[in-house]
């Protein structure tokens, strides 16, 4: 099973993002500043990846312990923006049956402002589960839209990450699970995901 998992609050959808690069302004700092246009620092980074799944983000950033990913942000984006990203996305790898041929896929990937990959969802121990969650990469126009149009709120959830990690480490999985952000499969229309399902 493949599902785009999300936390919904009205029209907003929550994504998770780990930061920052040593010696460079952190994504947390950049996106927390008042802005009318994408900061130059963001443009220079090229592809920006966001993860709708909290536990997959924990797998990626090692509960905020990996170098350069010590801060975890929850980024609320508009539903319209997220669905624009899906409509304009291309799978990050060639899949027979979805793409006519490898050359066509390569052309589509080169043009696409967003790219999608499906990775195994994770449990509290960060072990792979038998279903996958969507990960979204943004580039070019999508990065500009993400920063200037889609993002409606940003919060630092690093303290929550550390609290859950401590509970997992002590074996108190029930308490850890109660603190997890509420997530459920995204109610996307078939036309949004048909070209993205391997």
Which 8-state DSSP code applies to residue 194?
G
Q: Is the pLDDT of residue 65 over 50?
A: yes
pLDDT at 51: 85
Can you name the residues that pair with 143 across neighbouring β-strands?
none
CB 76 within 8 A of CB 14: yes
CB 157 within 8 A of CB 72: yes
CB 35 within 8 A of CB 148: yes
pLDDT at 36: 37
Which residue range forms the structural domain that includes residue 122? 2-196
- Rg over alpha carbons for the chain, rounded to the nearest Å, is 17
pLDDT at 40: 54
What is the pLDDT averaged over residues 170-193? 90
pLDDT at 97: 84
**Overall domain count for the chain:** 1
pLDDT at 21: 40
Give 143-172 pLDDT, tens digit per residue: 989 888 998 888 899 999 999 999 999 999
For the chain, count helices (H), then strands (E): 9, 11
Please calculate the CA angle 15-143-44 and round it to the nearest 5 degrees: 120
- Comparing 186 with 125, the larger pLDDT belongs to 125
C-alpha 142/C-alpha 84 separation (Å) is: 9
Give 73-127 pLDDT, tens digit per residue: 888 889 999 999 999 999 999 998 888 899 999 999 999 999 999 999 999 999 9
Q: Is the pLDDT of residue 195 over 90?
A: no
Give 2-49 pLDDT, tens digit per residue: 444 445 444 555 666 665 543 344 444 444 444 434 445 555 555 688
Coil, strand or helix at 89: strand
C-alpha 192/C-alpha 26 separation (Å) is: 32
């Amino acid at each position: 099973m493949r599902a785009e998992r999300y936390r919904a609050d009205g029209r907003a959808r929550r994504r998770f993002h780990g930061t920052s690069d040593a010696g460079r302004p952190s994504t947390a700092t950049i996106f927390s500043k008042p802005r009318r246009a994408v900061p130059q620092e963001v443009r220079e980074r090229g592809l920006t990846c966001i993860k709708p799944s909290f536990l997959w983000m924990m797998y990626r950033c090692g509960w905020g312990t990996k170098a350069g990913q010590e801060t975890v942000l929850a980024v609320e984006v508009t539903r319209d923006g997220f669905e624009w990203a899906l409509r304009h996305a291309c799978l990050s790898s060639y899949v027979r049956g979805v793409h006519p041929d490898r050359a066509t896929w390569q052309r589509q990937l080169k043009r696409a402002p967003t790219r999608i990959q499906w990775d195994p969802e994770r449990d509290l121990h960060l072990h792979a589960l038998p279903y996958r969650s969507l990960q979204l990469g943004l580039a070019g126009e999508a990065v500009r839209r993400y920063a200037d149009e889609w993002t409606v709120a940003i919060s630092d959830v690093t303290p929550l990450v550390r609290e859950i990690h401590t509970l997992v480490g002590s074996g108190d999985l029930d308490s850890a699970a109660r603190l997890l952000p509420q997530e459920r499969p995204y109610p996307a229309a078939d036309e949004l995901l048909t070209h993205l399902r391997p």
